[in-house]
Amino acid sequence: MMRAVGLRSGWTFFILLICILISLLVLLLRHTTAAQPHKKNCNLFRGSWIEDETNNYPLYNSTHCPFIEHEFNCQRNGRPDKDYLKYRWKPHGCSLTRFDGGAFLKKFKGKSIMFVGDSLSRNQWLSLVCLLYTSQPKANYNTTRVGDVSIFTFLDFGVQMMLDRSVYLVDVVMEKKGRILKLDSIEGGKLWKGIDMLIFNTWHWWNRRGISQPWDYIKVGGKYYKDMDRMVAFEKALLTWAKWIDTNIVPSKQLVFFQGISPSHYNGTKWGQPGIKSCSGQTRPLSESMYPAGLPPSLRVQKNVLGTIKKAVTLLDVTNLSLLRKDGHPSIYGMNGRKGMDCSHWCLAGVPDTWNEILYNLVI
């Protein structure tokens, strides 16, 4: 009798142990699945910024990347706080795979990558250069400049990292009337042909006026205009670029991305701090998932034009996640120091590293 009770107790304990192990396995599988950054069932651009507790962020130490330009090098320029470096982007329902520079260089061995756009493209280009260089600090490299194109080559991998400064994407040319912004001309595109991966960007310059405006007339359809609605001009230029993509890109050989609108932070009312007129002194990101003031109209124009393209173009939809980072700009630790206030560009290390980490998750 005692033996039978003992056997029953033993079996009960064994079955209970099996049930516990199965439950733990199910939880582990759920956790593993939730941690997968797969693009098919997860929007990498919807999420929130969380403070990293693993000491894996920032993705590199800015002092170990000698290529960061003065206007982005916030720590070297005296920025006293460092908390802004410790946040990582966490998409809803999944996690980003951490950037691996070695894997990226192997993936693009013998290939060319070109960023095309304004100083925000330079921000992202330098970020990627630093991410790769700090992962392979002993790698041989070469830097050169040909016209408006800057080239950083990782010689051991044959990877060319290029930056073409083309702030409008369409052409600005000199004619008898003066400097002409030609909304339906894109001769500069000859530099983009045959590039293995292209990342485009434009918006930052479209609202410039006065002495900072680099054109005198707008030309479209054979007619000249002293000015026009800038959003309309922006759309016309993007449609010209879209036609170039459909005419020249070979999807089986090339990857094409468009960087979403990179936002500025000069109006605290938009993020819940009325009276604040710059990003100065901001040390933490917004905790919510969506920017209180919503998304800029220019992003809607951008998405509408991208929707007309027949060839494959992926939007790096970084606008909202960047809007949440009011703390990520150089402010008085940028180009002009305390005489200036830069709430448009981004510190490096910083937010553009996340743009590139998302890019990495999309291409690897």
CB 342 within 8 A of CB 204: no
Q: How far apart are CA 100 and CA 92, in angstroms?
A: 22
Q: How far apart are CA 25 and CA 33, in angstroms?
A: 12
**332-338 long-range contacts, CB within 8 A, separation 24+:** 332/280, 333/74, 333/77, 333/78, 333/79, 334/71, 334/72, 334/74, 334/77, 335/70, 335/71, 337/77
Cβ-proximal residues to 308 (8 Å cutoff; 6+ apart), any chain: 239, 242
345 is catalytic: yes
Which among 121, 150, 345, 353 is annotated as catalytic? 345
Joined together, the tokens standing for residue 305 give 């034009």
Q: How far apart are CA 144 and CA 160, in angstroms?
A: 11
Cβ-proximal residues to 348 (8 Å cutoff; 6+ apart), any chain: 62, 65, 68, 72, 73, 74, 123, 126, 127, 130
92 is catalytic: no
Rg of the chain over all Cα atoms, to the nearest angstrom: 24
Q: How far apart are CA 275 and CA 165, in angstroms?
A: 35
287 is catalytic: no
223: left (phi over 0), alpha (psi -120 to 50) or beta: beta
Which among 119, 264, 278, 298 is annotated as catalytic? 119
Q: How far apart are CA 188 and CA 148, in angstroms?
A: 10
CB atoms within 10 A of CB 278: 18
Which among 278, 342, 344, 353 is annotated as catalytic? 342
341: left (phi over 0), alpha (psi -120 to 50) or beta: beta
Which residues are catalytically annotated? Answer: 119, 342, 345
